[in-house]
Amino acid sequence: MCNLRFSGDTRHVIYLDETWMDQNHSRNHIWQNDMDSEGFKVTTGKGRRLIVFHAGAAKFGFICGSKLILKNSKNDGDYHSQMNSQIFHDWFQNMMQLLDEPCVIVMDNAPYHSVLVENVPKSNTKKSDVQEWLSEKGIDFSLTETLAELREKVKMAKPREKRDQLNELAYQMGREVIRLPPYHCQYNPIELIWAQVKGKVATKNTTFKIADVEKLMHEAIDAVTSENWEKCVRHAEQLQNKDFEKEGFRDCILEPIKLEITWVYTVSVKLLWIVARR
């Protein structure tokens, strides 16, 4: 991303991500009296969950028409486990059709973001599935061959580079996908936007009904302006630039360590000889 900016790339940068909202989402601190008999009452538990898809950029804010909110009947842990690649693929394709100009799309490496064009058998794949894959590839094998022998044929036939479905789809539509490094969500300004949206919902959620929470979610998202997006993008870019400079500085100050292998070998042999004599 730093290199794109330094080279004067004029394409819009689209940041996307999903978030969630529980039915009983509310403020962390609320007023109660000492007897806990008066004040704002919060329903116990988390209730149902909303999963939200959206994307935006500094110039125009959220992309008009790309918002998608799904209701989940269960709330059982991380919302990533409740997603699947087909839902995201369909949303991603529809979102890109709303973009008129070539652009750069930034997203993370969630499993449903990173489905490969071709699924190569893994180490735990059953023998029958490996045989089926080899047959589809037109690779000859004997039914008497062991699983280990079949895996060797898979290694010889599998593509050298991994190809993501979404990267390929974006490329066909004149877009470029750039992935965030693992555990570096601070580089994605939409995380700050989501924090703003969730804060607004928390202050207004008084009924703890999923329909009302969904309505509040729509209102909070629609209230986000392009100025909000511009500030968040500027903040994320500053973090990117700062870490980019640190990387360059680290490369300059760290000199390569040279180790004389011959010297180490000689010392090791002498130590073994001394120990043997004792």
What CATH number has the domain bearing residue 29?
3.30.420.10
Q: Which two tokens stand for residue 61?
A: 């804010």
Q: pLDDT at position 192, please?
A: 97
**pLDDT tens per residue across span 82-123:** 567 889 999 999 999 999 889 999 999 998 898 888 888 888
Closest CA to 97 of 23, 158, 172: 172
**75 with 174, same domain?**
yes
Q: Which two tokens stand for residue 168?
A: 């390929």
Per-chain mean pLDDT for the chain: 85
* Mean pLDDT to the nearest integer, 149-170: 88
Residue with tokens 């990173």, as numbered in its chain: 114
Residue 140 structural domain: 119-158
In the listed set 106, 132, 158, which residue is the last one of a domain according to the structure? Answer: 158
**17 with 133, same domain?**
no
pTM: 0.77
Q: pLDDT at position 136, please?
A: 87
Q: For 223-255, give one letter per residue: b (16+ CB within 10 A) or e.
A: ebeeebbbebbeebbeebeeeeeeeeeeeeeee
**147 with 196, same domain?**
no
By percentage, how much of the chain surpasses pLDDT 70? 79
Gyration radius of the chain's alpha carbons: 27
Give the Cα separation of 13 and 105 in Å (integer). 6
In the listed set 134, 158, 182, which residue is the last one of a domain according to the structure? Answer: 158
In the listed set 135, 158, 181, which residue is the last one of a domain according to the structure? Answer: 158
Give the Cα separation of 109 and 34 in Å (integer). 47
Least confident among 34-48, 217-231, 244-258: 34-48
Split into its structural domains, the chain has a count of 2
Q: pLDDT at position 163, please?
A: 85
Closest CA to 81 of 14, 160, 20: 20
Q: Choose the most confident range, by mean pLDDT, from 29-33, 149-153, 189-193, 256-260.
A: 189-193
* Mean pLDDT to the nearest integer, 159-186: 92
**100 with 153, same domain?**
no
